[in-house]
A and B are shown apart, each in its own frame.
Chain A
Amino acid sequence: MSQPSWQDAVYAALKAAGITQVGYVPDAGHSRLIAAAIADPDMRAIVLTTEEEGIALAAGAWLGGQRAALLMQSSGVGNCINMVSLPVSCRMPLLTLVTMRGEWGEFNPWQVPMGRATSPVLTAAGVHVHRADHPGEAAETVAAAAALAFDSAVPVAVLFGQRLIGAKVFVQ
Chain B
Amino acid sequence: MNASGALDRRAVAAALLHDPGDLLVVTGLGAPSYDAAAAGDRALNFYLWGAMGGAAMVGLGLALAQPNRRVLVLTGDGEMLMGIGSLATIAVAGAPNLAIAILDNGRYGETGAQHSHTAKGADLAAVASACGWPGTATAVTMAEVEALRPRLRSEPLFAVIRISPAESPRALPPRDGAHLADRFRRALGVARP
Q: Which residue numbers of A lie inside 8 Å of B, CB to CB?
A: 20-21, 44, 46-50, 52-66, 68, 82-83, 85-86, 89-92
A52 touches B54 (CB 8 A): yes
Q: Which residue numbers of B lie inside 8 Å of A, CB to CB?
A: 24, 26, 46, 48-66, 83, 85-86, 88-89, 92-93, 177-178, 180-182, 184-185, 188-190
* Number of A-B residue pairs having CB atoms within 8 Å of each other in the complex: 122
B53's partner among A52, A65, A89 (CB-CB below 8 A) is A52
Q: How far is the CB of A83 from chain B (nearest CB, A)?
A: 5
List the 8 closest pairs (A to B, CB-CB), nearest first: A60-B61, A64-B65, A65-B190, A49-B85, A56-B54, A56-B57, A90-B177, A89-B177
Q: Which residue of A lies closest to B185 (CB)?
A: A63
A90 touches B178 (CB 8 A): yes
Report A-chain residues with C-beta under 8 Å of the C-beta of B65: 20-21, 60-61, 63-66
A49 touches B177 (CB 8 A): no
B190's partner among A59, A64, A91 (CB-CB below 8 A) is A64
A46 touches B60 (CB 8 A): yes
Q: How far is the CB of A78 from chain B (nearest CB, A)?
A: 15
Report A-chain residues with C-beta under 8 Å of the C-beta of B54: 52-53, 55-56, 59, 83, 86
* Bound Cα distance A4, B145 (Å): 53
A86-B50 contact, Cβ under 8 Å, with A60-B58, A60-B61, A64-B61: yes
B61 touches A50 (CB 8 A): no
A65 touches B185 (CB 8 A): yes
B66 touches A65 (CB 8 A): yes
* Bound Cα distance A90, B182 (Å): 8
13 A-B interface contacts by CB (under 8 A): A47-B89, A48-B85, A49-B88, A49-B89, A55-B54, A56-B56, A60-B63, A60-B64, A61-B65, A62-B61, A63-B65, A89-B50, A91-B181
A82-B88 contact, Cβ under 8 Å, with A63-B188, A64-B62: no
A sample of 11 more A-B contacts (CB under 8 A), given A53-B57, A65-B190, A91-B181, is A46-B89, A49-B86, A53-B86, A56-B54, A56-B58, A60-B62, A62-B61, A65-B65, A66-B61, A86-B177, A89-B50
Report A-chain residues with C-beta under 8 Å of the C-beta of B59: 60
A60 touches B185 (CB 8 A): no
A85 touches B93 (CB 8 A): no
B89 touches A53 (CB 8 A): yes
Report B-chain residues with C-beta under 8 Å of the C-beta of A20: 65
Report A-chain residues with C-beta under 8 Å of the C-beta of B181: 62-63, 90-92
Report A-chain residues with C-beta under 8 Å of the C-beta of B85: 48-50, 53
* Bound Cα distance A55, B58 (Å): 8
* Bound Cα distance A83, B52 (Å): 7
B92 touches A47 (CB 8 A): yes
B50's partner among A47, A53, A54, A85 (CB-CB below 8 A) is A85
A64 touches B188 (CB 8 A): yes
Report A-chain residues with C-beta under 8 Å of the C-beta of B64: 21, 44, 46, 60-61, 64, 66
A82's partner among B51, B57, B60, B66 (CB-CB below 8 A) is B51
